[in-house]
Amino acid sequence: MTALTLSTAGAATLRADALVVGVAKSGKTLVVAPGAEAVDKAFDGRLAAVLETLGASGAEGEATKLPAPAGVKAPVVVAVGLGTAPEDGESYGSEVLRRAAGTAARGLTGVKKAAFALPIAAADDAAAIAEGALLGAYAYAAGQGADAKKPLAEVALLGAKPRDKAYKAAAERALAVAEEMNRTRDLVNMPPNELTPATFAAAAQAAGKEHGLKVQVLDEKALAKGGYGGILGVGNGSVNPPRLVRVAYTHPKAERTLALVGKGITYDSGGISLKPAGHNETMKCDMAGAAAVLSTVVAAARIGLEVNVTGWLALAENMPSGSATRPGDVLNMYSGKTVEVLNTDAEGRLVLADALTKASEEHPDAIVDVATLTGAMVLALGDRTFGIMANDDDYRTAIHEIAEEVGEQSWPMPLPADLRKTMDSPTADMANMGVRMGGGLVAGLFLQEFVGEGITWAHLDIAGPAFHEGAPYGYTPKGGTGSSVRTLVKLAERTAAGEL
């Protein structure tokens, strides 16, 4: 785990194994960003010229290493691109700084300590750099051999005023959020033979014990006794039985309660409606929503938010077998509704439905569910943007604005009422499928049926950004990303402040 420290030392005088500075484009000229003045002086004012000679352009995502000159105690300087320099009086955006720090940290594998001398004009800038560096330094440790280089061990943030309360709080929050995003990444990256519903529930119990959370686990017997037909219908085909986990953080001064519901399909084969080859190799990631929910509840506890946050993890493994649900079967849901299963690969909505009903019984002020729910959302928005649906337009807009603020790409999506009738069934109250076109919206309409009356609700479909199959970029690694955690934590903060 990468450590974070704040330092008042100068960029040239701090002892570290590498020193990270920023460079940017100003017209056709490469310029040195604030924070690197002492380093530029050590280069006799020619740092930008040297970097240009090496081919640096200042573009985002670019990192150039060069030996440090006399006068700089770190042996290596890493110049990371910040894109276009801001106008006079303006600062670099938080996401620019976050990605730049992540880019630098990714390239410092095996390094013990790196000092980051990127532009800091306020505590928010320090938080963004800290988040980016800690996220960029991530590696799935369990998947590495003994000879593998370790991630960057320590991030020293320069110019962050360690005695200033605002900077100290920003750094502590950044550490909590980044480490909880990395918790989500670890869970998503775990092989499905290791992360079953039972082991996921055990991980939630361990996190709860560490951070003072109340954790309750319903096993397959309790689920059967309680009538959770959706979760059981999905999990019945697997030798690894399902679980429903409640993870609760409470604050004595809290006046509002936010419920989070996460889809936790620890492996999704599609069930009897089997996925074809080429579509099932990454389906260990189908529990990313539940992982994000767990991490958010833990982050709320670590930060000490004055809001009650309850997480519901709907955990199952979707497998074909003689005991698996068949297309055409009718499930008796926890809500009392009946659902005809037309496609067993539309299983996420079934486990979420039971969890949404259960969460509604506690009458929270709002419920947000998070799920890698539909391929249709990926087709609509691509693999870096999640969709937002809600039964309240203002709430949907607020979540979209929050996601934009914290640097997560999202887009508001509608819930067209005319699509609801396409889920009508002759043998049940409704089917788990409707028309193919607009399938992501149909899934949202299905979930809405299980939200308690009068409760504000939103649905985040993170099917695209939850798992990154391409080359790493910025602070985003290959594999699990931790998508939606930053948005959910900020949502909890706004709820605590009474803004939502």
Position 281 scores a pLDDT of: 93
> How is 374-420 classified by DSSP, letter by letter?
-HHHHHHH-SS-EEEEESSHHHHHHHHHHHHHHT--EEE----GGGG
The answer to whether residues 395 and 369 touch, using CB atoms and an 8 Å cutoff, is: no
CA atoms lying within 13 Å on the CB side of residue 108 = 38
DSSP, res 242: -
Cβ(78)–Cβ(62) below 8 Å: no
pLDDT at 41: 97
Asked if residue 475 lies in contact with residue 101, where contact means CB atoms within 8 angstroms, the answer is yes
Q: What is the DSSP letter of 334?
A: T
243 assigned to active site? no
Asked whether the beta carbons of 486 and 462 are under 8 A apart, the reply is: no
Cα separation values, 23 from 35, 52, 461, 472, Å:
10, 11, 36, 21
Whether 335 shows a pLDDT value over 90: the answer reads: yes
Which pLDDT tens digit goes with each residue over 413-425?
Answer: 999 999 999 999 9
Q: Rounded distance, CA 347 to CA 441, Å?
A: 15
Q: What is the pLDDT of residues 352-384, one digit of tens each?
A: 999 999 999 999 999 999 999 999 999 999 999
Structure tokens at 463: 């099917």
Q: Which of 349, 358, 486, 494 is catalytic?
A: 349
Residue 357 makes CB contacts below 8 A (sequence gap 6+) with 333, 334, 335, 450, 452
Active-site annotation holds for 358: no
CB 201 within 8 A of CB 315: yes
Q: What is the mean pLDDT of the chain?
A: 97
What is the average per-residue pLDDT within 399-407? 98
pLDDT at res. 89:
75
Rounded CA separation 469/124 (Å): 30
Confidence of residue 63 (pLDDT cuts 50, 70, 90): very high
Residue 418: Cβ within 10 Å count: 9
- Give the pLDDT score at 149: 85
pLDDT in the model for residue 451: 98
What pLDDT, in 10s, does the model give residues 87-145?
887 899 999 999 999 999 999 999 999 999 999 999 999 999 999 999 999 999 887 77
Amino acid letter at 110? G
d(CA 262, CA 298): 14
Q: pTM to 2 decimals?
A: 0.97
Phi/psi for 384 (5° steps) reads -125, 0
Tokens describing residue 493: 């903060």
End-to-end CA distance of the chain: 34
Q: Which two tokens stand for residue 300?
A: 């709320």
Q: Tens of pLDDT along 166-216? A: 999 999 999 999 999 999 999 999 999 999 999 999 999 999 999 999 999
What is the pairing mode between strands 338-340 and 330-332?
antiparallel
Catalytic residue among 41, 168, 256, 275: 275
pLDDT, one tens digit per residue, over 263-310 is 999 999 999 999 999 889 999 999 999 999 999 999 999 999 999 999
Segment 245-255 shows an average pLDDT of: 98
Q: CA angle at residue 114 from 117 to 210, to 5 degrees?
A: 110
CB atoms within 10 A of CB 185: 26
Reading the block at residue 72, the tokens are 């700089």
* CB atoms inside a 10 Å sphere around CB 49: 11
Q: What is the pLDDT of residue 147?
A: 75
- Three-class DSSP category at 302: helix
What is the gyration radius of the CA atoms in the chain, in angstroms?
24
- Whether pLDDT at 146 is above 80: no
Does residue 1 carry a pLDDT above 90?
no
Q: 17-35: per-residue pLDDT in tens?
A: 999 999 999 999 999 999 9
Average pLDDT over residues 153-162: 94
On whether the CB atoms of residues 128 and 157 are closer than 8 A, the answer is: no
